[in-house]
Structure 1
Amino acid sequence: MKKGTLIALGAFVVLLVLVLATRERQVSVGVHKLELPKLDKAQVTALELSGARNATLRKEGDGWIVLDPSKPDTKYAADENLVNSALDALGEVKNPSFLTDRAERLAEYELDDAKGLKLKVLQGGNPAVELVLGKASKNGGVYLRKAGSNDVFTHQGRLDWTVRKELKDWRKRQIVALKVEDLSQLVLRSKEGESVTLKAGANPGEWSLGEGTQTPAGFRFSSQLAQQFAQQVASLYAQDFLEGDAAADSATGLADAHDSLEAQLKDGKKVVVHLGRQPDAKDGSATVAARVEGDAQVYQLSQYVASQLRKRLVDFRDLSLLRFEPQKVSKLKVQAGGKTVVVVKEGEGWKVAEPQKLPEGFEFEPSQVNMQLSWLQGLRGTRLIDGQVTDVQAGLASPSAVVELTVEGEPVQTLRLGKEAPGAANGAKELYARSTIDALTYAVGEGVKTRLAQGLELFKRRPPPPSFAGGGQMQGLESLPPDVRKQLEAQLRGAQ
């Protein structure tokens, strides 16, 4: 290589080193960055919102309270999860995109004093974090700036919606926070004077009626329904809050005879919830007042939640129609729609005993037997039929559907469906039903008969889910009617 070429190459290398050594310093000149004090969640003592929203959140003891800065003496319990979510979102503000530093444009982005949402986070002796949040940016984020600076940035994240809340939206809405396993009993008292006591058993999910409870003839208590009720009571949330005159007992109905429920804990503590007046059923938007003893706040519950708490003894009636352990069933017979199907256990599997000759192309799937047994095990009546109804009156002398179960070591269990039962709610169609579980008559949805009328199809091998372009598969359509499934599959294919 020539000497001149070597000299030129050496000079190039020296220049390259100089460029690399000074590149960061040269590029950094004039770059706008959002630099905030380090956030330490463990040290945060307060969040102050002002401007577009006005609320102060302050840590007191192990919890948080929220208040209106103009009314510092009126404090409310705050939802700690909302506070933590806001702090986590603030910690995600890193390297937002710079937009402009022109002060005259702050109003355009709603970052001025008139419309900006000011957020100040106090963290003990550490520097406070202060931001101003503006309107939503075009790319789905939010415009923001550091307090005291005109540099405008766009941030893609959840910070804005985690802090842009009215004072009441920060409030803790969980009325009752208990663990079901800590309950020893539940006492329900109705405004009519009826009292029902549910006693927790030694094992989880075991419940019984209090000693001496008077029950109707043939009444079967459902421990499962009691467990579900206990879970509802243990985690009860309010829809909203009542204040002022609207919260007065005379306005809510709590001054009159009303429903209540008492949760007693194993440690001796009690939580008593009082339910206010039930609004007119036609006013679906109306709420129900609720108050917890020892808590001055009056809460608002949705009508649905309140209805789930207004239980009576009859609401804990066991409406199951069959009682068996699926693994002990050795024979299942179904008669409906002019079809008879019998499947019997053979070793560890199942086989079809009737019809003796299967239709051409039919593929029997033994696992479907277990699925149908699980369905029958969970089958419950929609309601109990009042009064005496003869087999002839109910259409049970010549039933429209019959299920017979042969269970090891037990008598044969039978379920019969009859004709339509009047009095169904919401215009639904129900059928009379009676089984060997007791001598009472129940109602079941018409869909039970429709399912049983499938006959042999109940135990047919289901085709694998259809595959589509891209290797994806549609799941969960096997149980739909064939015509509906085909329409849905065609629509989904067209959307791809």
Structure 2
Amino acid sequence: MNARQLKIVAIVLGVAVLLYLPRLFRDSGAGGSLEVGDGFSFAVADSVAGVDIMRADGAGTIRLERTADGWTVDGYVADEQKIRDLLDVVVDLSSEEIVARNPSNHDAMGVGEEGRRIEIRTDEGASLRFHLGTRDTRSGGYFVRIPGDPVVYRLDGPTGGYLSRERDGWRPRAIASVDTAGVREILIRRGEREAVLRRSDGNWMLGDAPADSSVVQRLLAVLPSVSASGFPTEEEEAGADFTRAHAAIEVFSAGSDDVTDRRLALSLRLLSDEDAGDWLARLADGREVFRLSGLTVDRLLPEDFLPEP
């Protein structure tokens, strides 16, 4: 075989390799594709049904799942805005920025077999996977790798940050929102001590006497956005007995123009967690448990309005 024939054979083999390689990394599912060739690329052709975030070192899986009632994270209500942000970017990912080819770099970059892995499930049953590594502190973005491929890419944009969240980062911290313009009555309790605040002709009364307006305003300032400071562990949540709540607040708003008509706008039960220095809270008609800071509880249940112990 002469030099000219060898050159032709080499060209044919090269073309064949270029045509075949992308197929090695393509998911055949109808819901999308995950491939390498010119770079890391991922596109979803139909709706995302769920996202599994398998944490590093076998520390468990965070499951985001679309249900008939909306998105959940490990069975808890998920933050709708955070889910929308994720779906906006996860359906179309791409990168041509190769940062490593040697498998010996995988563990250091967080894309080794024991690192964080992402699986995206679609309505059509496609399962699309990639390794999500650590953040590239020099250039931004996150390291990503397709299973079975040694090449590591840098994925820019917010996707890596979203998928690096822990479970509580996907949960909404908003507990309740009360329109204070219509609030007519507030009942507060700590232990056996109780007090009732009523608004009459625009003035707040504590019993038969005017209530301290500055304390009332601090209380009312919390009501439009009662927000959690965090969440308890599953064990703490399971052990929380709200039938024996240490404190409570109930807020009533005007139900109509009839001054005798009112509706319950907020009913919150609280348990003091002395070890943590804060409180566990749950809506009276809810099932999810939150943490409230001591400062927030002190504003909602001001000692100034309660009788002496």
TM-score (norm. length: structure 2) = 0.68
Q: Secondary structure at the match of 2:193?
A: coil
Q: Residue 292 of structure 1: CA displacement?
A: 1.9
Structure-2 separation of matches of 1:311 and 1:299 = 20
Structure 1 gap ranges (5+): 1-24, 68-74, 202-206, 316-496
Residue 390 of structure 1 is matched in structure 2 by none
Cα distance between partner residues in 1 of 2:45 and 2:207: 58
User: Which one of the candidate residues 33, 58, 63 is aligned to 1:56?
Assistant: 63
Per the alignment, do residues 276 and 51 of structure 1 end up closer, same or farther by CA in structure 2, a change over 3 Å counting? closer
CA contact 1:54–1:166 (8 Å) conserved in 2: no
- Are 2:53 and 2:61, in contact at CA under 8 Å, matched by a contact in 1? yes
Task: Sort the Cα spacing of 1:57 and 1:106 in 2 relative to 1 into closer, same or farther, 3 A.
Answer: same
Q: Confirm whether residue 286 of structure 1 aligns to residue 277 of structure 2.
A: yes
Aligned length: 262
Shift of 1:227: 5.1
Q: What corresponds to 1:432 in structure 2?
A: none
Change (3 A) 1:101 1:237: same
Distance 1:108 1:313 in 2: 56
Task: Specify every segment of 5 or more residues in structure 2 that has no aligned partner in the other structure, as ranges.
Answer: 1-14, 22-36, 256-262
Q: Which whole-Å CA distance do the structure 2 matches of 1:142 and 1:245 have between them?
A: 34
1:241-320 mapped onto 2 (5 Å cutoff): 241-242=231-232, 243-244=234-235, 248-249=239-240, 255=244, 258-266=246-254, 268-277=263-272, 279=274, 286-312=277-303, 314=305
- Residues 263/60 of structure 1: CA separation in 2 closer, same or farther (3 Å cut): farther
Match of 2:228 in 1: 238
Residues 62, 230 of structure 1: CA spacing in aligned structure 2 closer, same or farther, 3 A cutoff?
farther
| Secondary structure of residue in 1 paired with 2:42 | coil
1:36 corresponding residue in structure 2: 42
Q: Say whether the 8 Å CA contact 1:54–1:167 is kept in structure 2.
A: no
Judge conservation of contact 2:49–2:123 (CA < 8 Å) in 1.
Answer: yes
Per the alignment, residue 34 of structure 2 pairs with none
Deviations 1:240-286, CA, capped at 9 Å, x for gaps: 33343675357x8x726x3311123455344311222374xxx8x62
State the alpha-carbon separation in 1 of the partners of residues 226 and 104 from structure 2: 49
CA gap 1:184/1:314 in 2 versus in 1, 3 angstroms: closer
Q: Distance in 1 between matches of 2:150 and 2:184?
A: 60
Map of 1:213 onto structure 2: 207
Bigger share in strand: 2
Identical positions, percent: 18
The answer on whether the counterparts of 2:95 and 2:153 sit within 8 Å (CA) in structure 1 is no
Residue by residue, what CA displacement relative to the aligned partner does 1:39-77 show, whole Å, maximum 9, x if unpaired?
Answer: 76xx3321111142511111223422111xxxxxxx222
DSSP 3-state at the match of 2:281:
strand
Which residue of structure 1 lines up, in the alignment, with residue 118 of structure 2? 119
1:189-200 map, 5 Å: 189-199=189-199
- Alignment CA distance shift 1:180-1:270 (3 Å): closer
Contact 2:185/2:196, CA 8 A, preserved across alignment: no
Q: Within 2, Cα distance between the matches of 1:131 and 1:266?
A: 53
Q: Is the 8 A contact 1:144 1:155 kept in 2?
A: yes
Cα pair distance change 1:88/1:66, threshold 3 Å:
same
Question: In the TM superposition, what is the alpha-carbon distance from 1:300 to its structure 2 partner?
Answer: 1.9
| Conservation of the 8 A alpha-carbon contact between 1:37 and 1:128 | no
Confirm or deny: 8 A CA contact 2:42 2:91 kept in the other structure: no
**Deviation (angstroms), 1:303:** 1.4
**TM-score for both structures, normalised by structure 1:** 0.45
In the aligned structure 2, how far is the partner of 1:264 from the partner of 1:220? 17
Q: How does 1:64-463 map to 2 (within 5 A)?
A: 64-67=71-74, 75-90=75-90, 93-103=93-103, 105-115=105-115, 117-125=116-124, 127=126, 129-137=128-136, 138-181=138-181, 183-199=183-199, 207-209=202-204, 213-215=207-209, 219=210, 222=213, 226=216, 228-242=218-232, 243-244=234-235, 248-249=239-240, 255=244, 258-266=246-254, 268-277=263-272, 279=274, 286-312=277-303, 314=305
Kept in 2: contact 1:144–1:152 (CA 8 A) = yes
Give the counterpart letter for 2:270 in structure 1: L
Deviation at 1:185, TM superposition (A): 3.7
Q: Secondary structure at the match of 1:83?
A: helix
Give the CA deviation at 1:79.
Answer: 1.8
Distance 1:277 1:51 in 2: 32
Distance 1:135 1:308, change over 3 A: same
Q: Deviations over 1:76-105 (max 9, x none)?
A: 222222222333443674434123445554
Change in Cα spacing, 1:64 to 1:139, as seen in structure 2 (3 Å) is same
Indicate the residue corresponding to 2:32 in structure 1: none
Determine the C-alpha separation between the residues in 1 that align with 2:38 and 2:301.
Answer: 61
Q: Give the one of 31, 46, 49 matched to 1:45.
A: 49
Q: Which amino acid aligns with 1:294?
A: D
Change over 3 Å in CA distance of 1:146–1:307 after alignment to 2 = same
Q: Is the 8 A contact 2:42 2:94 kept in 1?
A: no
Partners of 1:185 and 1:200 within 8 A in 2: no
Cα RMSD, aligned residues only: 3.7
Alpha-carbon contact 2:41-2:92 (below 8 Å) kept:
no
Aligned-partner SS, 1:113: coil
The structure with more radius of gyration: 1
SS where residue 307 of structure 1 aligns? helix
Alpha-carbon separation, structure 1, partners of 2:117 and 2:77: 22
Deviations 1:293-334 (A, max 9, x none): 12233322111112111125659xxxxxxxxxxxxxxxxxxx
Aligned AA (1:44) = V
Letter of the 2:228 counterpart: A
Task: Give the structure 1 partner of residue 9 of structure 2.
Answer: none
Tell me, yes or no, if the aligned pair for 1:276 and 1:290 is still in contact at 8 Å: yes
Give the Cα–Cα distance (whole angstroms) in 1 for the partners of residues 109 and 179 of structure 2: 47
